Chains A and B, each alone.
Chain A
């Protein structure tokens, strides 16, 4: 990290980037903070906080308590799946290992609204396929609902974060250390708990905080599984107009918690780099006994089916007639009518085009601003660089509901920051929310691209007489571009899936595809939202493959 890019850094670019960061990320937070501290008479007051912490009407406190313990339990469950899986996949050779390794990230790519539909309505809810099948075959009455449903959904959706962090941590781990412990007589278990896991602590903790933040900000799970329970994100959505003052307090409290978690997370992530001095890598070894191999193979198969279950159920339901019989376990009739219905009108194309437009606009902004910020951060380690970095990563920690609410309230009146116009109710506010939500993805992608950059190339360019701008355009940019563009792709795909901020601030003119899925389900159909989900997933896969091919061609050139 001592190598810097002084020569290619242009401070003039930072000014607009910082202005955007301050206007869209910091300013809304500060405004909401100020509003939460403004009393009915317009002066400073803690009255809304007093109301929030009122033990006579405990709904807010109950919501805070529920959100907190739900998030902690979600972290534990996600870790219980993700950590052992990562250890297994990186250390042991077993049948289907490659498939498990690549499919384990699948839940991250499932749009939240599609995930919750699959879990609640198609698979595990009271009238879902699995409880029905269970009842028909064994007579056992079981289904997922309420808090348990949220936790299972979170475990599925978030375990890949543990998996990815720990697998990456393993790669950086010096295999000599556990080997030394083992050869000095420690048992395998003892080595695991006394050496390997402690070395992986930064990776596990980093993933843990990220999952905690994600679980705290989760909205679609609570919306479907526990609509009548008190949960902070639901309260923000429900009370955003009727009791704005309480929502500003809720929003501020969530933002402060998020910020307090963000600081140690960033520190842990940079701390993780220190371990990377290791030589060599752990290679997976086959288990010593055949029975172990067979058992692991069976486990892997079960796991793959479980990972694919939501996707399979969506495909199945998209072809199923909506007229189920009361006792049907599986659909009794199949049809193409849902696809025909969707493709014959603009119910799919219009929201999809809206989503494509907004996501590409937001991703474009993310790349440009992310590039400038990442270069700035990479150059400076002093307080200003750190402050900018924290600011750029703040949206990662903020629940999407909070981001959306704060933007909505901040820009609901004309202000000089928005050239004298109110943005609430306009087409533009939602892409701005996408931009804010996904900025950390772009910054991080650019940061890792910069980290692999060889400063010697830049020195060479400059010593051969190229100017700063020429060097940036002809040397630096082409070298970081593939990394930057994969970041752009991630931002873009995340925009296509976005539901939580969307439901708070979309307007008919920019209704995104995720909202169309929700609406068509709300309207009473199962097949139409399933078919829409299939088409969304296919579009996303198509775009991802196309962009990756672009990048490969680009690299080859």
Chain B
């Protein structure tokens, strides 16, 4: 019996040895672990009393979690989701209003009317191809290419519903094809249906999309956000070429917010705001732009702070009413799941 008790003792000790008396700030974010780790470390160095726990999650999962945890919120700062997703969370009273000083530098039309979330980056959605397999002259030049016969079975995509990027891209493409006319969304869905027919595969996670573009024998092209495409290319040596259609690109307005929690201690609330201010500061912005492909939405960024590729990948937004796209993004994604996704695809 003594052995058994010794075993229990060891387990008990194990349970006791992970105590930490710093204030915890939990961050849910789709921005990936590299950004997470870098800013966690930088913030903790400046604020040794705070333990940042950065939790990388897909956008849709964050919304699900924040909803499910509303009785006991774990998350303090929700860093990153399209304004359309934040609008849903805000309407369900899951977010805490906060107005950072720098918001004065952001165009009014991107603001939430009650400041329950704040716009942070602009994230353009582009077409990514394999530059080892085709030259830039051979790359798609228009969003219409993805729906054309030439690309039958040669489009790959991230499984759209969980992805903030794909929600943003789809909503803009539908709004664009509909000419911003709510009565004409059929044109938008005709387009999505044609793209779906051409789509060879949907990756369960972004990585599968990148691997397909790199390795697929059929020389496939994919839709992804510019920031991450550049980041993945540099970090994992993916041979990504970037095609920016002349008619313009969907632009996701990526935002940040504090999650509502009435039981949060004042010290923790304070620390959460500090982290929020830290990652949205112009100094952090410089790192985010140059090291991670993000572009700040605020208008007071000095030109010399912009990354070198910014000029190389100059883009125009599609002629889309951003509010029209954002307010319908969720309904359109459900529509796509119910009506388009079940159809045959693969293009052969």
Contacts and interface: CB of A to CB of B under 8 A. Distances in A.
Interface in A231-245: 238, 240-242
Interface stretch (A206-214, A450-458, A515-523): A515-523
Contacts of B32: 523-524
B65 to A, nearest CB: 8
Contact of A507 (B8, B69, B159, B211): B69
B341 interface: yes
Interface in B209-225: 210-212, 214-217
Contacts of B235: 524
Interface string A291-330: 0000000000000000000000000000000111011000
Interface stretch (A69-77, A167-175, A352-360): A352-360
B215 A326 contact: yes
A357 B341 contact: no
A282 interface: no
B14 A356 contact: yes
Interface string A420-434: 001111100000000
Contact of A141 (B8, B130, B210, B217): B217
Nearest to A132: B215
Interface stretch (B71-79, B106-114, B181-189): B71-79
B230 to A, nearest CB: 14
A478 B4 CA distance: 11
A228 interface: yes
A224 B337 CA distance: 18
Interface string B20-43: 000010100000111001000000
B334 to A, nearest CB: 8
B142 interface: no
Q: How big is chain A's contact interface, by range?
A: 35 or more
Interface stretch (B200-208, B268-276, B296-304, B320-328): B200-208
Contacts of B11: 356, 360, 364
B68 A238 contact: no
A508 B205 contact: no
B85 to A, nearest CB: 12
B10 to A, nearest CB: 9
A253 interface: no
B68 A412 contact: yes
B141 interface: no
Nearest to B58: A522
A408 B72 CA distance: 12
A93 interface: no
B67 interface: yes
Q: Is the interface of B mostly helix, strand, loop or mixed?
A: mixed
B159 A412 contact: no
B67 A241 contact: yes
Contacts of A364: 8, 11
Contacts of B232: 524
Contact of B201 (A145, A223, A241, A345): A145
A424 B66 CA distance: 11
B212 A522 contact: no
Contacts of A141: 217
B56 A127 contact: no
Interface in A408-426: 408, 412-414, 422-426
Contacts of B204: 223-224, 227
Among B32, B69, B75, B239, chain A packs the most CB atoms within 10 A around the CB of B69
A201 B264 CA distance: 59
A550 interface: yes
A523 B56 contact: yes
A414 B203 CA distance: 39
B215 to A, nearest CB: 5
A553 B3 contact: yes
B202 to A, nearest CB: 5
A126 B159 CA distance: 16
Contact of B15 (A135, A228, A360): A360
A188 B211 CA distance: 52
B71 A511 contact: no
Contacts of B216: 126-127
B56 A425 contact: no
Contact of B68 (A228, A241, A414): A241
A228 B341 contact: yes
Nearest to B28: A508
A241 B74 contact: no
A360 B16 CA distance: 13
A103 interface: no
A224 B75 CA distance: 27
A485 B56 CA distance: 37
Given A224-B204, A522-B207, A57 B338 contact: yes
B207 A426 contact: no
B201 A485 contact: no
B68 A408 contact: yes
A424 B64 contact: no
A240 B337 CA distance: 16
A240 B338 contact: no
A424 B15 contact: no
Contact of A521 (B68, B205, B237): B205
A522 B72 contact: no
Contacts of B58: 522
Interface string B318-348: 0000000000000000000110011000000
A424 B69 contact: yes
Contacts of A278: none
Given A228-B202, A241-B63, A425 B71 contact: yes
A522 B55 contact: no
Given A425-B68, A519-B56, A524-B236, A478 B1 contact: yes
A508 B210 contact: no
B109 to A, nearest CB: 28
B197 to A, nearest CB: 14
A550 B7 contact: yes
B277 interface: no
Given A228-B159, A478-B1, A554-B4, A412 B56 contact: no
A261 interface: no
A59 interface: yes
B308 interface: no
Contacts of A110: none
A425 B15 contact: no
Interface string A468-497: 000000000010010001000000000000
A538 interface: no
Interface in B68-115: 68-75
Contacts of A553: 3
Contact of B236 (A322, A412, A508, A511): A322
A509 interface: yes
B265 interface: no
Contacts of A422: 71-72
B238 to A, nearest CB: 9
Interface string A349-382: 0100100110011001000000000000000000
A524 B206 contact: yes
Nearest to B72: A425
B161 interface: yes
Contacts of B202: 227-228
Q: What 4 pairs between A and B have smallest CB-CB spacing?
A: A425-B72, A425-B69, A422-B71, A227-B204
Given A227-B203, A323-B237, A326-B239, 5 more contacts: A141-B217, A360-B15, A524-B206, A553-B3, A554-B1
19 contacts: A57-B338, A59-B342, A141-B217, A241-B68, A242-B64, A350-B18, A357-B15, A424-B68, A507-B74, A509-B24, A509-B74, A519-B33, A521-B205, A523-B34, A524-B207, A524-B210, A524-B232, A550-B4, A554-B4
